[in-house]
Chains A and B, each alone.
Chain A
Amino acid sequence: MSSWTDKRPMSPHTTIWKWHLTMASSILHRVTGVGNYIGIFLVVAWLFATAVGPDYYEPLSGLIGSIWGQLILFGFTLSVSYHAINGVRHLFMDAGMALNPKTGSFLSGLVLVLAVAMAVAVWLLSGLVPGVDPLNMTGAV
């Protein structure tokens, strides 16, 4: 028999749980980390196609410009935005800050809002949304 005498229940209770913002945040950090892992393939493919020549660059560019390509690109922007902002929260937590439950829930929610705002801002400012180009990135005058 085991010498384990601690009477308290052993974690995790995988069937008894409810959603918390901090839990969603923890899961999202991992999901977006893996999302970034997949997304960087696209970045490297783009660099490689640029180096090889227009024969590779143009088809890839067309693919990214399609509606599915744009959806994937926005998803990637969102993933990087969330992971980057929440990553900063992680670094503060690793330094022992912002750890109490109230602060944790508040910051988890705040990071979510900031990440969506950041992704939308990147798209608006970079002229990726058709008809919106405040910084004239497309050079269309």
Chain B
Amino acid sequence: MSKPQQNFRTPLGKVRGLGSAKHGAGHFITQRVSAVALIFLVPWFLISLIGAVRGGYDGALAWVADPINAVLILLAVGASLYHMRLGMQVVVEDYIAKHSTKAVLLMLNTFVCIVLFAATAYAVLKIAIA
């Protein structure tokens, strides 16, 4: 065996001078915490939603209007959007090397998730509070 590596940074890495942004651990943990929440929320959402779809338009309205369903829908979709924003961030960081393209895509990812959440919140609150 050769001598253990004292420093894990490659010469190229040293020259570029780019290091950790110190957000890695928080990202890793929140992605997993949201995953644990989704283990419970996603099966409920799948089964419940499919039941609601069966009942046509009136069935759909009645499903969202139920107070417990309304809260659980906001949680399920909200946790999914939070989780998938973190997940897509990693995918973009893995495949897009060009800084400008990466910055634009990361921003777009954030905007898309926020827009989807706003639409969900509007829809659920409108039906449940009306």
B117 shortest CB reach to chain A, Å: 9
A-B contacts, 24 listed (Cβ < 8 Å): A4-B10, A6-B2, A6-B5, A8-B2, A30-B91, A33-B87, A34-B91, A36-B84, A40-B77, A47-B124, A50-B57, A50-B60, A50-B64, A50-B127, A51-B64, A51-B122, A84-B42, A84-B43, A87-B38, A91-B32, A122-B50, A137-B51, A137-B54, A139-B54
Q: B84 to A138, Cβ gap below 8 A?
A: no
Known pairs A88-B39, A138-B54. 4 more at Cβ < 8 A?
A: A44-B116, A44-B120, A58-B57, A126-B50
Residues in B whose Cβ lies below 8 Å from that of A41: 116
A2 to B13, alpha carbons, bound, how many Å? Answer: 12
**Distance, CA A63 to CA B5, complexed state (A):** 58
Q: How large is the interface on B (under 10, 10 to 19, 20 to 34, 35 or more residues)?
A: 35 or more
Q: How many residues does chain A have at the interface if contact means C-beta atoms less than 8 Å apart?
A: 42
Partner of A43 from the list B49, B61, B127 (CB cut-off 8 Å) is B49
| Bound CA–CA A10/B49 (angstroms) | 49
Alpha-carbon distance between A4 and B12 when the two chains are bound, in angstroms: 10
CA distance A15 to B57 in the complex (A): 53
B residues within 8 A CB of A50? 57, 60-61, 64, 123, 127
Is B119 located at the chain interface by the 8 A CB criterion? Answer: yes
Pairs of residues from A and B, 9 with the lowest C-beta to C-beta distance, nearest first: A51-B123, A126-B50, A47-B123, A2-B11, A50-B60, A51-B126, A48-B123, A37-B84, A44-B116
Cα of A33 to Cα of B84 in the assembled complex, Å: 7
Does A107 belong to the interface (CB within 8 Å)? no
Interface status of B47 (Cβ within 8 A of chain A): yes
Q: Which of B1-55 contact A (CB under 8 A)?
A: 2, 5, 10-11, 32, 35-36, 38-39, 42-43, 46-47, 49-51, 53-55
